[in-house]
Structure 1
């Protein structure tokens, strides 16, 4: 009986691993050129975890960051990006940026559709490519309709949250390999962590 139970557990784990691998590949294939090139490096025998570690071991920092946004489940991808952005901006963030980071953290801790829409409005005065704006977009496109509330629902593409989350991290780390490596450590820790605490309490 024990042997049978172990076999079932192993089969379930293998199915979950394959489902995750397929999810990541589909998202990468729909995203940016860097992500599509990364997807092309997968072999049939590699799990998503193995691909992440291969990119890190080969010091392909930017591709690894792009990959991490899709490798992590949506909520954790946003948490990872929020933690990374906070680590970079905590000494220089404007009141608007601080408010956005706080709202995004609240959403990660307790996802709520009204808050999701509110967060997008909070960044109207920020540049489109600002890290806080990218964080807000990652939340807004994470699920639920992206049409106005009084219009028929329009569901977002599945890859877009990982795209915006990784864009936020790349935006703040592109000039610094040590910061890229730190962000990748955050990603690896986030992958297996429980639900988050506030980034202000982690750093």
Structure 2
């Protein structure tokens, strides 16, 4: 175990073996002029784990979620969004929204081109305003082309911008935390961040009430 100083006290966490960079500056965040666009008070030279834990400890949850979405590899990040999206489901969830989540989960289990394109098709059948639909988009934008699968062969491929998956994962998780019960958002954020930490450590992120813990 390692101890990370958060500014609000020491937090004991496992080693984040899935995070491959040593500095926040190297996470691939969008740029603001000549430097990465960072949360206030976060140094480009800071270790991602330390920055995320400090933000979470200060209840700056959306910023912590965003940094962790960029810190995780795309497949693990989409799995994290799958867990948050599944926690957001209820008995009134439309079948088309559930299909988005199932398509994203299928891509995580086997991230091949056919399943990436299936995520596009799932989102096309519903409005992309739910955590599940955003999660499917995050998988669809993980590689390949932004051009829909049904487009004519003469349409040139358009590779997705590298940060699209991370940005969309962060949006999905924030939406899953705040939409249904704004007053309960802090508890949801803490739950989702606990799952994200576990995934960063190499775990499945599974918790009570989440999807089955098939390791991505």
The TM-score bracket by the shorter chain reads: 0.7 to 0.9
Gaps of 5+ in 2: 1-16
- CA RMSD in angstroms comes to 2.6
Task: Tell me the residue number matched to 1:125.
Answer: 125
Choose between structure 1 and 2: higher strand proportion.
2
Q: Does 1:61 align with 2:61?
A: yes
Give per-residue Cα distances to partners, 1:71-99, cap 9 Å, x unaligned: 21111110000001101215443222222
User: Where does residue 27 of structure 1 map in the other structure?
Assistant: 29
Q: More helix per residue: 1 or 2?
A: 1
1:36 matched to which residue of 2? Answer: 37
- Structure 1 stretches of at least 4 aligned residues deviating more than 6 Å after TM superposition: none
Distance 1:71 1:113 in 2: 23
Deviations 1:103-155 (A, max 9, x none): 21111011011211121111223222221221111011111122356233321
What's the counterpart of residue 175 of structure 2?
Answer: 171
Q: TM-score, normalised by structure 2?
A: 0.74
Distance 1:189 1:105, change over 3 A: same
- Alpha-carbon distance in 1 for matches of 2:176, 2:195: 14
Q: Which residue of 2 aligns with 1:73?
A: 73
Distance 2:129 2:54 in 1: 29
TM-score, structure 1 length as denominator? Answer: 0.78
Residue 140 of structure 1: aligned partner: 140
Q: Whose RCO is larger (CA < 8 A, sep 6+)?
A: 1
The 8 Å contact of residues 177 and 188 in structure 2, kept in 1 or not, is answered as: yes
Q: Matched residue of 1:200: which SS?
A: coil
Unaligned runs of 5+ in 1: 1-12
Paired residues, number = 181
Return the alpha-carbon distance in structure 2 between the equivalents of residues 153 and 61 of structure 1.
Answer: 36
